Amino acid sequence: MTPSDTDADAPRGSERAEWAFRESSADHRTRAVPYSHLSVELGHLYMEDFAEGPERLRAHFAQVAPWAATARTLAGPKRRVSTCFLIDDYFTPFSSPAEVIPMVMRAADLAGLRIDYLARESGCASAAGVETAALLLARLVPEPPVGSNGARPPAEESGWLCNGERSPSDVTPEAMSAPVWQPPVELGARRHSVFLDAQLWSEDKAGTRLWSCPFLAAVWQMLRLGLLRNRGEVVLTAQPWAEEEFPHDWRDLSPLVRLNPQAAPFCAYRTFSVLDSRFLPVEHAVRVILDHTAADPAAMRQVAERSAAEGLQLPSAVSERVLYAFTTTGTRGGGT
C-alpha cells in the first residue's frame, strides 16, 4: 500500500488522502537464469558406494565416461554442456567434504571427466532457510481418477502419489459370494497398465518429515531444468569454490558448488543422467511426480522464449526434457 503521488500536491492541512492498493504478489518478479543446452549428471552415489573406496569410484566413472561423451556428441559441437554430481548427505551423513570431494574429483579425472558442479542432496530438501522440497510439493496437481469419491486424501496430505486408479480396498462382497477384486488402472495406459504408487515422504512420531529419494530426485531435476522458484527467486545458486581445502562438515559447504570456473551454466534446457540400474524404479517415480507438477508459468515462459531464440523446440511436458542412461557399475545394495 503506497500513498498516491497526488498527495504531494494537496494543499497543506488538507484532510484528503488518496491511497493506491495493490497485491503484494504483484511485486514479485520471476528471476531468469542462464541456461546450458544440456546438463549431464555423472553420478548419484550413497554412503555404501564411498565406503568401498577409490576403486569403486574409478569403476563408476569408467562406466559413465562413454555415455557422457555420447551426450556431448549428440548435443552438438557448439552447444553449452555442463556436468554435475550429487552426493547423498541427507539420508546418511558420512565422512566429510574434505575427504570425499577430492577422492571423487580424482576418480573422475582418471576417466577423463570433469565435474563442473557438485551438489548436496540435503539442498533438495532445504537450503538457506528455504524448504526446497515443499516448493515442489505445493506445485503438485494430482489427476483424480474418473468416479473418485474423495475417500483417499490428496497427495499433499497422504504423502502418496500414483499414476492412476488404485485397486479398491473397501469392496464388501455379498453374503455367500466370492470376494470381489478390481485391478489398479494406469491413467493414459496403452493396452496394459503399469501402475505406480510412490511415497513422497515419511514421518516419525514427532511429526518430523523425511522426504523420499524419488521426491528429492524430482526436486533435483526441477532445479537442473531451472524451473523451481521461491516467490520468483532462484532457489539454489552455484557458489564458486576457490579455496584449496574443503570443509570437514557438510553443513559448511554450499548446497551447490561450482568446481569449474569456466563451466557452462548449471541449469539447462534438458537433463541427461547416467545412473546405476538400481535407480530405475526411483526415476520411474520421478517421471510420475514431474507429470503431476505444474511448473512456475513465468519460468516456463522464460525457458520457451530463450530456447526458441536459439532455434530449439522443447517438449511441453517437463518429464520429456529429462533423459537417462542406465548402466551397471558394480554397485551392491540399493538407494534409500
Confidence of residue 147 (pLDDT cuts 50, 70, 90): low
What percent of the chain is predicted at pLDDT more than 90?
A: 63
3-state secondary structure the chain: CEECHHHHHCCCCCCCCCEECCCHHHHCCCCCCCCEEEEEEEEEECHHHHHCCHHHHHHHHHHHHHHHHHHHHHHCCCCCEEEEEEECCCCCCCCCHHHHHHHHHHHHHHCCCCCCEEEEHHHHCCECCECHHHHHHCCECCCCCCCCCCCCCCHHHHCEEECEECCCCCCCCCCCCCCCCCCCEECCCECECCCCEEECEEECCCCCEEECHHHHHHHHHHHHCCCCEECCEECCCCEECCCCCCCCCHHHCCCEEECCCCCCCCCEEEEEEEEEHHHHHHHHHHHHHHHCECCCHHHHHHHHHHHHHCCCCCCCCHHHHEEEEEECCCCCCCCC
**What pLDDT sits at residue 328?**
81
- pLDDT tens digits, residue range 208-219? 999 999 999 999
Domain residue ranges of the chain, discontinuous segments joined by + = 36-138+213-327
- The mean per-residue pLDDT over the stretch 246-275 comes to 95
Q: What is the pLDDT of residue 68?
A: 96
Mean pLDDT of 145-160: 73
pLDDT attached to residue 16: 45
Confidence grade of residue 6 (pLDDT, cut at 50, 70, 90)? very low
pLDDT tens digits, 131-146: 999 999 999 997 766 5
Single pTM value for the model: 0.85
pLDDT at 10: 45
Check whether 2 has a pLDDT greater than 80: no
